[in-house]
Amino acid sequence: MTAPLTLFGGTFDPVHLGHLQVVTEAARQADLDKVYLLPCHIPPHKAGPHASPAHRLAMLQRVCQEWPLFEVDDRELRQHRPSYTVETLRQCREQDSHRPIIFILGMDSLKNLNTWFQWQELMSLCHLLVCRRGNCEEDFNLDIQALLARHQTQDPEHLKRQPCGHILLADTSIISQSSSQVRQALMQGNTPSLLPACVLAYIQQHQLYQGCKKTPASGRPC
């Protein structure tokens, strides 16, 4: 069987070490040598990003130059509609029906997975590799408890031997700072410790996340 296609989605507004470190740890535990960062254009569950698609893509590309584990998959950035994970996974599965597909997400996302669009189809399309994030405790609702009872595995090799259908909970670092906190620090003129140097340099060069009251394009609060 071919090497898994491993995806990690998000707005990456901006990408920071809270993303990169925990995903690196999870990939190491699952013995994965490539993870595709999957930036979305229009997130369906929250307000739109503050930085443009072009800027967010450029920051990710700079990260990939320094972190060989990562590459960028920009398919969702190229569509001008909300990005639903299940639709992206369907596209991937249509391209290769037998290849293992692994979707990486945080523990907080797993806890709310039953709110995702057509979430019941996910396990027929991919495996889930879950990173702990923030102070999330494992108080799963009944839907997620049932999902774990059917699909959880302790063996990372299961994610490579079959195309889909398993959930592995990785033991990763807990990093509570979020992209919104990183943006807030930048707007206050501070330098967040979670920003890779290449990303910080790009933000400074293009004067992103400055202390404005509204973004020109959308009128949303910064």
* Pairing mode of beta strands 5-10, 167-169: unpaired
Confidence at residue 106, expressed as pLDDT on a 0 to 100 scale: 92
Task: Read off the pLDDT of residues 114-145 as tens digits, 9 standing for 90 and up.
Answer: 999 999 999 999 999 999 754 555 789 999 99
**Which structural domains are found in the chain, ordered by start?**
5-176 (3.40.50.620)
Contact 127, 167 (CB under 8 A): yes
Q: How far is residue 27 CA from its own chain's centroid? A: 13
Confidence at residue 133, expressed as pLDDT on a 0 to 100 scale: 59
What is the DSSP code (8-state) at residue 82?
B
Residue 92 has pLDDT above 60, yes or no: yes
Region 8-28: what's the mean pLDDT?
Answer: 95
**Radius of gyration over every alpha carbon of the chain, rounded to an integer in angstroms:** 17
Contacts of 58 (CB under 8 A, 6+ apart): 202
Task: Read off the pLDDT of residues 151-160 as tens digits, 9 standing for 90 and up.
Answer: 999 999 999 9
Contact 209, 183 (CB under 8 A): yes
Angle between helix 53-66 and 197-206 (nearest 10): 150
pTM for the whole thing? 0.91
For the chain, helix (H) and strand (E) counts, in that order, are 8, 6
Residue 96 has pLDDT above 50, yes or no: yes
Between 211 and 105, whose confidence is greater?
Answer: 105
Region 5-23: what's the mean pLDDT?
Answer: 95
Closest CA to 54 of 13, 105, 98: 13
Confidence at residue 219, expressed as pLDDT on a 0 to 100 scale: 37
Q: What is the C-alpha separation between 202 and 61, in angstroms, rounded?
A: 11
Task: Read off the pLDDT of residues 171-185 as tens digits, 9 standing for 90 and up.
Answer: 998 877 789 999 999
Sole residue written with tokens 């063996």: 155
Confidence at residue 220, expressed as pLDDT on a 0 to 100 scale: 37
What is the DSSP code (8-state) at residue 194?
T
Calculate the CA dihedral of residues 169, 60, 209, 52 and round it to 10 degrees: -110
Confidence at residue 136, expressed as pLDDT on a 0 to 100 scale: 54
Q: How far is residue 29 CA from its own chain's centroid? A: 17
Q: What is the C-alpha separation between 107 and 138, in angstroms, rounded?
A: 8
Task: Read off the pLDDT of residues 37-86 as tens digits, 9 standing for 90 and up.
Answer: 999 999 887 777 899 999 999 999 999 999 999 999 999 999 988 999 99
Residue-averaged pLDDT of the chain: 90
